[in-house]
A = this chain, B = another copy of it.
Amino acid sequence: MRVVCLDMEGVLVPEIWLGVAEKTGLEELRLTTRDIKDYDELMTHRLKVLDQHDIKMDLIQDVIGKMGPMEGAKDFINGLKKHAQVIILSDTFYGFARPLMEQLDWPTLFCHNLDIAADGRIENYRLRTSDHKTKTVKALNALNFCTAAMGDSYNDTGMIQEASVSCFFRSPQCVLDDFPAYSHFTDYAEATEYLLTTDLK
């Protein structure tokens, strides 16, 4: 039996912060790790911007819920689940992902946590553990599962290198150039076939 580990943003749902920036009109939320390398600095910036505009959890969840999953993502997951175990490994936060998970029939998601105040203000974020994607695939390998992994970006390359069957999905060219050993798909049906039927290395 295979466990298929999927990245969330860019693979199943749109980039959350870009969507929030677009729907709120707050350009300062467009910054990514390409602009501010330090993740803690970036998240502190984002939470400060939300605070300055009095944007609380319910508004964010409403915005994210309206973004919706990518077209075909729900059928993709539900198709995989019939032949493999599926775990989504994401660096987002449960509070943000919740409205999207509901639209995907609540698949199993491993990610991080937010501290939400009683009035809905996002006070802080807590990474559950560093590099949890790679650690999770290692743990599944140690449990004698056959692991498959698919993601789109640099924070997926750890799990992609660790899993037995791996590929990229709709990745930026820079990622593909830096990791040329892996297949790249843009279509869910082709990715499904690859993840489920590729012989294990």
On whether the beta carbons of B139 and A132 are closer than 8 Å, the reply is no
Shortest CB distance A153–B (Å): 21
Whether A85 sits at the interface, judged by CB under 8 Å, is yes
A1, A94, A110: which has the most chain B beta carbons within 10 Å? A1
A22-79, CB < 8 A from B: 78
Q: Does A136 contact B (CB under 8 A)?
A: yes
Q: How far is the CB of A9 from chain B (nearest CB, A)?
A: 18
Are A110 and B129 within 8 A (Cβ)? no
* A106-B82 in contact (CB<8A): yes
Residue of B nearest to A127 (CB): B144
Whether, in the assembled complex, A109 has its beta carbon less than 8 Å from a beta carbon of chain B, the answer is yes
Give a binary string over A136-153; 1 marks a CB under 8 Å from any B CB, 0 the rest: 100100111100000000
Query: Which secondary structure dominates chain A's binding surface?
Result: mixed
Which residues of chain B come closer than 8 Å to A94, judged between CB atoms?
1
Are B113 and A129 in contact, with the CB atoms below 8 A? no
CB distance from A94 to the nearest CB of B (A): 5
Bitwise, A78-89 to B at CB < 8 A (1) or not (0) is 100110011100
Residues of B with C-beta under 8 A to A108: 85-87, 108
**Given the complex, which residues of B lie within 8 Å of A145, measured CB to CB?**
110, 128
CA A142 – CA B142 in complex, angstroms? 13
Q: Do the beta carbons of A129 and B106 come within 8 Å of each other?
A: no
Residues of chain A whose beta carbon lies under 8 Å from any beta carbon of chain B:
1, 78, 81-82, 85-87, 94, 102, 105-106, 108-111, 113, 128-129, 132, 135-136, 139, 142-145
